[in-house]
Amino acid sequence: MFLEGVSVCPKCDGRCLSWSARATLSIWDTNAGALLTTLTGHTALVPGGLLLPRARILNWSDDDTLRL
């Protein structure tokens, strides 16, 4: 995995978001240390993302897209 960054939301029930050069985002359960799911759909590097309350994710990619 080519990890680019991590976002932690204090109000997100022990979850964190990571993103990678492989154009994916992953949601982790930090209490269990387990991967919950991997999100795909971007076609280029994902240089950033934010894990938001109410199970929302804001992320952007070098494929010129912004997703919520």
The CATH number assigned to the domain holding 21 equals: 2.40.10
How many structural domains comprise the chain? 1
Q: Tell me whether residue 15 is exposed, middle or buried, using C-beta atoms within 10 angstroms of its C-beta: 0 to 12, 13 to 18, 19 or more.
A: middle
Beta strands in 1-68 (DSSP E): 3-8, 15-20, 25-29, 34-39, 48-52, 56-60, 66-67
% of the chain exceeding 90 in pLDDT: 59
pTM for the structure as a whole: 0.84
Report pLDDT for 4: 78
pLDDT band at 1 (very low <50, low <70, confident <90, very high): low
**DSSP assigned state of 43:** S
Residue type, 14: G
Q: Work out the average pLDDT over 15-33.
A: 91
Report pLDDT for 39: 94
User: Which residue segment(s) compose the domain that 25 sits in?
Assistant: 3-67
Q: Work out the average pLDDT over 19-46.
A: 92
Residue labelled with tokens 């939301």: 9
* 45 closest CA partner among 65, 16, 15: 65
